[in-house]
Chains A and B, each alone.
Chain A
Amino acid sequence: MTQLALVIDLNVCVGCHACVTSCKEWNTSGPAGSMCDDNPYGKDPTGTFFNRVQTYEIGEFPNTETLHFPKSCLHCEDPPCVPVCPTGASYKRKEDGIILVDYDKCIGCRYCSWACPYGVREIDEHLKVMKKCTLCVDRIYDETLPEAERKPACVLACPTSARLFGDVHDPESAISVTIREEGGYQLMPEWGTHPSNHYLPRRKTHQHIHEDELQRADNPLKKEQRGPSTPIDAPTLDDSTSW
């Protein structure tokens, strides 16, 4: 069985928000749209987004890490948001594990959003239906698009390619391999939701300098050295011993 998902590589995410607006841009005019904005030019503008990038500071100066953290629906394998939906509007697709909302069935009761521990479902305050990341289901199977572009909008946009897309159930898929090799992890594992989206942690490259590397045979300063610096006839021991 296929489970499509994203892997977010926190090691390279620079927090640019490209995934945020490209998602909005693609989806607002698509079947998952529109995505409303309230007070777009006024006080406290607010709107529907399927994906947000947050920033955290870890540690204390000067040992501070700044972490940019994108988050959209994690397409859980055991999604608590689905069984609670009274209408069946929220569902998990058998064929690829994508969690979707059928806008025509949704009564806008918000219960599914209460049932999601990750805070990724957003009610559309004007169309009154629940919205969320669709994994760009309308792109990834669209055969009119070139193969390379059958990917979520956010994945295509991401300038650091911090967003990887694929099948986590296929152990050979690129994202499964990355998850295994780079220590991919899930958010809030304590609730048994088994999010399909994974995150890759920060990885550091260090340089260790060995003392030998600083005592160099190829030190160019050697070329600048002059011949013997004391003249040959300067006094030596020979001038004063009396063996």
Chain B
Amino acid sequence: MKNSVKTAIASEGRIEVKNTTCYMCACRCGIRVTLRDGEVRYIQGNPEHPLNKGVICAKGASGIMKQYSPARLTKPLRRKEGALRGDAQFEPISWDEAFQIMEDRLKPLRETDPKKFALFTGRDQMQALTGLFAKQFGTPNYAAHGGFCSVNMAAGMIYTIGGSFWEFGGPDLDRAKLFIMIGTAEDHHSNPMKIALSNFKRNGGRFISINPVRTGYSAIADEWVPIKPGTDGALILAIIHELILTGLFDREFLVQYTNAAELVSTDEASDDFGLFVRTDIPVDPDCFDPQDRVWWDRHQEKAVHSRTEGVEPRLLGEFKLSDGRHAKPSFQLLKERVEQYTPEWAENITGIPAETIKRLAHEMGITARDELIELPIAWTDAWGKDHDTITGNPVAFHSMRGTAAHSNGFQTIRALSILMTILGTIDRPGGFRHKAPFPRPIPPCAKTPKGPEGVKPNTPLGGMPLGWPADPDDLFVDEQGEPVRIDKAFSWEFPLSAHGLMHNAITNAWRGDPYKIDTLLIFMANMAWNSSMNTADVRKMLNDKDENGEYKIPYIIVADAFQSEMTAYADLILPDTTYLERHDVMSMLDRPISEFDGPVDSVRIPVVPPTGDCKPFQEVLIEMGYRLKLPAFTDKDGKRKYRNYPDFIVNYETEPGSGIGFLAGWRGQGGEKFMKGEPNPNQWEMYEKNNCVYQYHLPKSYQYMRNWNRGYLNWAQEHRLMRYAEPINIHLYSEILMKFRRAAQGKTEGKQPPDHLRKRVETYFDPLPFYFEPLETQLTDKQKYPLNAITQRPMAMYHSWDSQNAWLRQIHTYNFMHVHPSTAKAAQIEDGDWMWAESMHGKVRCLARYSEAVEPGTIWTWNAVGKSKGAWRLDDNANESEKGFLLNHLIAEELPAHKAGEHISNSDPITGQAGWYDVRVRIYKANDDEEKVSFPQFNAMPALPGTGKTKKWLAFFAGIFAKGKP
């Protein structure tokens, strides 16, 4: 350190600085990579990037250790002849061989029965491409992580307000005064959330966290409200109860922008019971959501066409229409619904004192009403009315998997959306704000095929693999009402499973229910470990054989970048590049990184060459698309359409001449257009010059109230973000859900659920939010299994990826089970003891850690820190496998057999969202004579060919000529 300044500046070596986009997690911050002699020397946040504004996180700053990790796969590998799956015996092959193997396998499938090929991807960021590939192949069996991640969040909110948390919208902390975070540990909006939270706190905002655990973000909350897992619905409904009781809701907002005042037919006997009363004014047949509902005029005391200028409707009451039918405004129905949900009732369920619940409601209501924001921004609403200002009620919420990952999550999140709505905070300053391409119509227009006829040999799928059903006829089921997809998505078991049910794909394929498949391609998902429920059994299914000695899942291809647990079960391994080695796009067709004030998309541009024989999976898909002659990848004469992935990105259009491609920025011949425009041959260069990111700032008057903002809606329609430019009114009362209920009640003509599911659909498709115990809890003996067990994401680890990262694994080398001392002591467990946690489905032995920061009825651990022996190139005695453990062993992918049937996924009955956080457990001390290692243990996985050497010690110093390099 002598002349540190001088030596640093003069440090020998060739220095280069390049911009790209981080992928140490799904947040996608802009990064600036400094190379010395071609070796990565420093990765910093790009100060000019709109998302992270120069900051970086623990993972992002450890990218070097990912790039040079010994766990990296560098060669295509084929399972050795005679070796068993799971034994991880592989031999290196060439890419030519790998492509040939895939071609030979997939071509016949496509020619006969494309659904025998299933493609499932994990937490990837290229669903636009993987989805396109699946669709072109013609298989319906495609999904990404959404179903086991947070589809409840997406669906619950999108079916209510047309937008959602997750990557589609968020809290406007710049202007909020009160912020309530429910069930979030570390989200996809990692760095931006941290930036916003600290600014919010510094500006004097009040931050309340509702979470069974107080760590991370919750640590800096002004108030922590510990809640029992799975009971947020009860809390939120009680808050709504209190807000309606005290009149602390935004009447004007409800009237104009939601269906609160619209009348619902309430005569049980009438044909349209539960549906909105409609006028007979003619509607445009092309219209998505016809504005043909009625209000009850408060002054004239009669039904009128909704939103008639000058009319003030009633929100409460029951009215007799001129034809004698009875009807109530949906707000009246909501009020009736929440009458039973008193704070005292909720206290017993949530463990939160009734007084606190009332105070929370009052804080929200009073802040919303008394701290009104008026921005001097003129705008015009969808009905043509001009407004001089934008109003905001500065109460913001954020929520993720704490509410989503429960089987009652959809209704809970509906309740949350309604709470946000009655406070008047949707797409308004200080509240919830959309991010392009949201808001969408409710529900969004994408649809799957409606039956098996959508799947034909040698033909692209007759619809999207994933979509948003608007009524029962949209379901993807056969004549008998049985699923067409392997994961049973869009069937009567999970009608609104907008993201599929990846967590059941392996189990279903293994059982051959609803049918057998041939080839399963898993991209970037660790399904043999942390992203499966019931991990130990899933591992058995992956190498289970039938009577003929054939694997039940005949062929498994894994595209991964590391020696994960999943690779052991592959027949063919495709080594992917790292994020520093490839081109990538964060596309508007997928989940872009848009900001509140306009669309943003971004790219990755390689900063270092691929390692070994690594090949970007994008290139694999383009190549396979050509070899299989998929129309999108070949021209009319069957010739290759795209040289490579960058070429594809530049030239691909959703339809010939549509002008819509994967990237929105710098379109048109010279890059002068955006969102829509002819391919621009220099598009990549333009992104590169602009920090790899494209950002469009909407005019101020288009930035708010976008569900009803004429200017914005027209703009969005013009730029083809949306087909319709109609107002997107909020569904306080969900007629869509009611349609499914009516089908289950046998009141409709169209598709009907199989009988064993009628009751289930009828119960859960309630058009108004209601509280029920998570399904698994309902089926558990709670005397025997009194505790909830949940996981959280550690900020310094991304799922299972980072145990191969020499720096990050020092921070989380293994995991403890955090238990409140009173709970632990009752089970004679001391701090640091080995203990057992046991559910109906399995048990784990783990280390106990006392904590005062957890609700005593809950135990928790970090997600995915535990590892299977030998995976990730860790030594066999690494702490991750000896002391670390996975909670997934306690969680089943299927519910115990019950009235609705056998083999029903442990998921939300509406969306198919995996119920990760519903599991109930009991705990007890491990005997002193038991082994001091975690349970279960698995056979050690050998090092795969092509992976690196693990040194005894490491002294990373970038640059070949750097002095002191070991």
A joins B in a complex: yes
User: Which A residues have a C-beta under 8 Å from some C-beta of B?
Assistant: 9, 11-18, 20-22, 24-26, 28-47, 49, 55, 57, 59-62, 64-68, 100-104, 126-127, 134, 137-139, 141-144, 148-149, 153, 156-162, 202, 204-207, 209, 213-214, 216, 218-224, 226
A29 (CB) vs chain B CBs: closest residue: B958
7 contacts between A and B (CB under 8 A): A37-B807, A41-B70, A46-B810, A100-B1, A156-B55, A159-B56, A160-B198
Contact A16 B57 (CB under 8 A): yes
Contact A29 B36 (CB under 8 A): yes
Q: Is the CB of B957 within 8 A of A223?
A: no
Q: A16 vs B2: C-alpha distance in the bound complex, in angstroms?
A: 32
Say yes or no: B1 contacts A22, CB within 8 Å: no
Chain A contacts for B11, CB-based, 8 A: 30-31
Q: Given the complex of chains A and B, what is the CA–CA distance between A56 and B250 in angstroms? A: 41
Instruction: Please indicate the chain B residues that have their CB under 8 angstroms from the CB of A127 in the complex.
Output: 955, 964
- Chain B hits for A42, CB < 8 A: 874-875, 877-878, 950, 952
- 19 additional contacts (CB under 8 A) given A20-B811, A143-B9: A14-B194, A16-B58, A17-B57, A20-B58, A21-B808, A29-B956, A30-B11, A39-B875, A42-B950, A149-B44, A156-B44, A156-B45, A159-B52, A159-B56, A205-B204, A207-B178, A207-B206, A220-B247, A224-B315
Mask, B799-820, CB within 8 Å of A = 1, is: 0000010111111010000001
- Interface 9-residue window, one of B231-239, B364-372, B383-391, B413-421: B364-372
Docked-complex contact A57 and B851, CB < 8 angstroms: yes
Q: Could you tell me if A209 and B852 are in contact, using CB atoms closer than 8 angstroms?
A: no
Which A residues are CB-close (under 8 A) to B59?
Answer: 21
Residues of A within 8 A of B207 (CB): 205
Closest Cβ of chain B to A76, distance in Å, is 17
Q: Closest CB of chain A to B957's CB: distance in Å? A: 4
List of B residues within 8 angstroms of A46 by Cβ = 810
Assembled-state Cα–Cα distance A134/B317 (Å): 71
Question: Can you name the residue of chain A whose Cβ is closest to the Cβ of B813?
Answer: A45
A220 in contact with B366 (CB, 8 Å): no
> Closest 6 A-B residue pairs measured CB to CB?
A138-B8, A220-B251, A219-B247, A159-B194, A160-B198, A40-B806
For A205, the closest partner residue in chain B by CB is B206
Interface residues of B in 1-44 (CB under 8 A from A): 1-5, 7-9, 11, 36, 41-44
List chain B residues, Cβ under 8 A from A45. 806, 809-810, 813, 879
A21: chain B residues at CB < 8 Å are 58-59, 61-62, 796, 807-808
The verdict on B641 contacting chain A, using a C-beta distance below 8 Å, is no
Do A43 and B8 form a contact, CB below 8 Å, given A57-B852, A64-B214, A156-B55?
A: no
Residues of chain B within 8 A (CB-CB) of A162 are 198
Partner of A40, one of B60, B222, B853, B951: B951
Would you call B1 and A32 a contact (CB within 8 A)? Answer: yes
User: Which residue of chain B lies nearest to A55 when distances are taken between CB atoms in the complex?
Assistant: B215
When distances are taken between beta carbons in the complex, the residues of chain B under 8 Å from A204 are 222
Q: A223 to B964, Cβ gap below 8 A? A: no
Interchain CB contact under 8 A, B806 and A41: yes
Contact A41 B359 (CB under 8 A): no
Q: Check if B42 sits within 8 Å of A61, measured CB to CB.
A: no
Which single residue of chain A is at the shortest CB-CB distance from B43?
A25
Once the chains are docked, how many angstroms separate the CA of A174 from the CA of B44? 24
B251 x A223 contact (CB < 8 A): yes
Name the interface size band of chain B. 35 or more
- CB–CB B966/A14 < 8 A: no
**Contact of A62 with B204 in the complex, beta carbons under 8 Å:** no
A104 to B247, CA, bound (A): 73
CA distance A121 to B281 in the complex (A): 79
**Known pairs A38-B953, A209-B359; A218 contacts B214 (CB<8 A):** no
Q: Is the CB of A41 within 8 A of B873?
A: yes
Query: Cβ of A28 and Cβ of B796 under 8 Å apart?
Result: no
Q: A11-B220, A12-B202, A33-B964 are in contact. Are A159 and B811 (CB under 8 A)?
A: no
- Give the most central of A32, A137, A216: most B CB within 10 Å: A216
**Is B41's CB under 8 angstroms from A29's CB?**
yes
Q: Which of A11, A101, A159 contacts B55 (CB 8 A)?
A: A159
Which residues of the other chain, B, contact A219 by a CB distance below 8 angstroms?
246-247
Query: Given the complex of chains A and B, what is the CA–CA distance between A16 and B251 in angstroms?
Result: 41
CB distance from A167 to the nearest CB of B (A): 17
Q: When the two chains form their complex, are residues B220 and A12 in contact, meaning their CB atoms are under 8 A apart?
A: yes
Query: Which A residues touch B216, using CB under 8 A?
Result: 14-16
CB-CB nearest in chain A for B203: A205
B222 to chain A, nearest CB (A): 5
- Tell me the complex Cα distance, A29–B856, Å: 46
The answer to whether A213 touches B852 (Cβ under 8 A) is: no
Interface residues of B (CB under 8 A from A): 1-5, 7-9, 11, 36, 41-45, 47, 52, 54-62, 64, 70, 178, 186, 190-191, 194-195, 197-198, 201-202, 204-207, 214-220, 222, 224, 226, 246-251, 298, 312, 314-317, 359, 362-363, 366-367, 369-370, 795-796, 804, 806-811, 813, 820, 851-856, 873-875, 877-879, 882, 950-959, 962, 964-966
CA distance A79 to B732 in the complex (A): 64
Residues of chain B lying within 8 A (CB to CB) of residue A206: 206, 222
Given contacts A37-B953, A160-B198, contact A66 B807 (CB under 8 A): no
Interchain CA distance A172-B613 in the complex, whole Å: 57
Contact A18 B55 (CB under 8 A): yes
Partner of B362 from A16, A24, A153, A214 at Cβ < 8 Å: A214
Q: How far is the CA of A21 from the CA of B42 in the complex (A)?
A: 11
Cα(A150)–Cα(B251), bound, Å = 52
Q: A28-B957, A29-B956 are in contact. Are A22 and B56 (CB under 8 A)?
A: yes
Residues of the A chain whose Cβ atoms lie less than 8 Å from the Cβ of B58:
16-18, 20-22
- Give complex CA distance A213, B359 in Å: 12
CB-defined contacts of A30 to chain B, threshold 8 Å: 4, 8, 11
Which of B70, B359, B369 has the most A CB atoms < 10 Å from its CB? B369
The reply to whether A64 and B806 form a contact with Cβ atoms under 8 Å apart is no
- Complex: A36 Cα to B956 Cα, angstroms: 7
Question: Which residues of the other chain, A, contact B4 by a CB distance below 8 angstroms?
Answer: 30-32, 100, 134, 137-138
Could you say which of A11, A36, A142, A221 contacts B9, with CB atoms under 8 Å apart?
Answer: A142
Docked Cα-Cα span, A24 to B954, in Å, equals 13
Bound-state Cα–Cα, A134 to B21, Å: 29
Contacts of B52 in A (CB 8 A): 159
A29 touches B962 (CB 8 A): yes
**Max chain B Cβ within 10 angstroms of own Cβ: one of A15, A35, A205, A206:** A205
Q: Which of A55, A137, A148 contacts B5 (CB 8 A)?
A: A137
Measured CB to CB, the closest approach of chain A to B872, in angstroms, equals 8
Q: Which residues of B contact A13 (CB under 8 A)?
A: 220
Which residue of the partner chain A has the closest CB to B251?
Answer: A220
Instruction: Give the distance in Å from the alpha carbon of A100 to the alpha carbon of B218 in the complex.
Output: 36
Q: How many Å lie between the Cα of A219 and that of B246 in the bound state?
A: 8
Chain A residues positioned under 8 Å from B366 (CB to CB): 207, 209, 213-214
Query: What is the bound-complex CA distance between A106 and B61, given in angstroms?
Result: 29
- Are A16 and B795 in contact, CB atoms less than 8 angstroms apart? yes
Residue of B nearest to A36 (CB): B955
Closest approach, in angstroms, between the C-beta of B31 and any C-beta of chain A?
11
CB closest chain-B residue, reference A148:
B47
A132 to chain B, nearest CB (A): 9
Which of B195, B369, B808, B875 has a CB less than 8 Å from the CB of A41? B875
Q: Which A residue's beta carbon lies closest to that of B190?
A: A159
B61 contacts A160, C-beta separation under 8 Å:
no
In the assembled complex, the CB of A75 is this many whole angstroms from the nearest CB of chain B, namely 14
Would you call B226 and A62 a contact (CB within 8 A)? yes
What residues of chain B lie closer than 8 Å to A126, measured between beta carbons? 953, 955, 966
Chain A positions within 8 Å of B222 at CB level: 204-206
With A25-B61, A66-B853, A148-B47 in contact, is A34–B820 under 8 Å at CB? no
**Assuming A14-B220, A142-B8, is B316 touching A47 (CB within 8 A)?**
no
In the complex, what residues of B have CB within 8 A of residue A16's CB? 57-58, 186, 194, 216, 795-796
CB atoms of B2 and A103 under 8 A apart: yes
Alpha-carbon distance A146/B42, docked complex (angstroms)? 16
Query: How far in angstroms is the closest Cβ of chain A from B769?
Result: 21
Q: How far is the CB of A130 from chain B (nearest CB, A)?
A: 10
Q: B813 to chain A: which residues have CB within 8 Å?
A: 44-45
